[in-house]
Each structure stands twice: as structure tokens, then as C-alpha cells.
Homo-oligomer: A and B are copies of this chain.
Amino acid sequence: MVTDCGHCPLRKRDVFEPLTDDEVAFMRRFKVGELKIDPGTTVLMEGSNSPQLFSVLSGLGLRYKLLPNGRRQVVNFVFPGCFLGLQAGVMGEMKHSVEASSAMVLCVFDRASLWNFFKSQPTRAYDLTWLAAMEEHFMGEALTSIGQMNAVQRMCWGLLRYAARCTDLGINDGDHYPFPFTQQDLADALGLSLVHTNKTLMKLRERGMLSLSDGVLILHRPEEMQEQSMLPVTSPARRPLI
């Protein structure tokens, strides 16, 4: 059973801009299927030139780059509403990999018809550019965080930012946030070693700021975390959904 674009459960959330009927019809044609994947599945590989593009309907994942020496940098978290494969779509190949951390459901699109966005759906093309600019923004924030902040600050900022994105999507339960990631994932995202990530987490736990276990993150004192983190964490306004 494939979700119809006209009844997209994601688009009902008011963080996402509504579409005209015409646009919905276009998306229906653009969508070629749906993909359900297990945790750990690689969706896109760095260097690959996937014939398919994806939009995340549900589930959480990671974007990351691998280094020749085996190290890994997580460049962003993947949330419902993320569009995957734009780089391959326009630049010819992915510059990072994408992996599912929980079960995920993806809308599948045909890469070859990406050009139709630009040719016949200028508002949708504009939305694509919007999303690319958004990714750039997220990465700039992460870069600033890793480049200028210490372990505690990075972790506060990173988890607040994560929680803010969850809240936008309504996938949290009050101050409880789904967190299907390992400490190694978190370490790779923050540019810290696993051990130091663990110790930093402990420090924040002891301060009563957060809990993290069994795939659930709880933020007990977001205000204090915000003070720690230097970079203000703000939710962007309403955004497009591809």
C-alpha cells in the first residue's frame, strides 16, 4: 500500500507549506514507489550515482562521510521530510552516504524526472533550492559548533538542535525524544571520541540536564543547555516538503 501524495501524513503538519492541487498531481506522477527499510540499511552511498531520489516519510537516519583511515563524520541527522539524493541529482554523485538508524519509509522518485521540476514546476524547483540552502545552513551551524565549542557545549547544542527538529515534526512526546543512535553515532556527529562522548554525556546526566537510554533522549533542562551552547537554537519557519 503506497501513501498517496494527496493524503501525505507529513504535509498535514503545519511546518510544511501546503501544495496546490496541481503540485500534488505533479508529485503523484513524480513518485514511483515507496520503500520500507530496516535499521542499518544504507540508502545512498558516497560516490554513487543513484537513479533514484528519496523523500523521508518516517524514520530517522544519518548522513555521513567516511575517511580512508576508517574514521567517520556524521554531517547531519536525517528526519522525516528530508530530501535525499539532491547532490547526485544535480552534481552527478553523492558527496556523502545516507543510512537508516531506525526503520524508515521512503518515497521513491525517478532521478531522470528531476529536470521536470525546473521545466514545468517552478515553485517546486524553488522549493528544492530552498532545501539545499537549508542543508547548507545546518552544516554551517554544525561547522561552527565543532570548530568553536568544547565537548559540553557541542553536545548541548547538538542535542538541542536535534530536539528542536523533532519538535517541529511532532515526533517527540513532551521532553522525550526518539533517539535511535549509538553513542558512537553521536561521537561521530560531534567530532569527539567515543570515550569522551560517553564521559560528557555522564557529566550532563549528573547535572540533571538529560537522560539518554534505550533509544530515548529526555531533556530535563533545555534552558540551561541553551545557555551552555552559545549558538542559539532556533526553529526555521515553515518549510517546503518535496
**A→B interface (CB under 8 Å):** 65, 67-69, 71-73, 75, 86-87, 90-92, 95-96, 115, 118-119, 122-123, 125-126, 128-130, 132-137, 139-144, 146-148, 188, 190-191, 230-232, 236-237
The reply to whether A134 and B73 contact each other, CB–CB distance below 8 Å, is: no
The reply to whether A73 and B122 contact each other, CB–CB distance below 8 Å, is: no
User: For the complex, what is the distance from the CA of A133 to the CA of B92, rounded to whole Å?
Assistant: 11
The reply to whether A132 and B136 contact each other, CB–CB distance below 8 Å, is: yes
Q: Is the interface of A mostly helix, strand, loop or mixed?
A: helix
User: For the complex, what is the distance from the CA of A236 to the CA of B132, rounded to whole Å?
Assistant: 18
Select from chain B the residue with minimum beta-carbon distance to A154.
Answer: B147
User: For the complex, what is the distance from the CA of A232 to the CA of B147, rounded to whole Å?
Assistant: 21
Which residues does chain B contribute within 8 Å of A86, judged by CB atoms? 129, 133
Q: How many chain copies?
A: 2
What are 6 A-B interface contacts by the 8 Å CB criterion?
A65-B140, A73-B147, A73-B148, A125-B129, A139-B139, A143-B143
Known: A126-B118, A132-B133, A136-B87. A73 touches B144 (CB 8 A): yes
Known: A126-B90, A133-B86, A191-B148. A75 touches B230 (CB 8 A): no
The reply to whether A134 and B191 contact each other, CB–CB distance below 8 Å, is: no
Select from chain B the residue with minimum beta-carbon distance to A135.
Answer: B136
Which residues does chain B contribute within 8 Å of A143, judged by CB atoms? 73, 75, 139, 142-143, 146
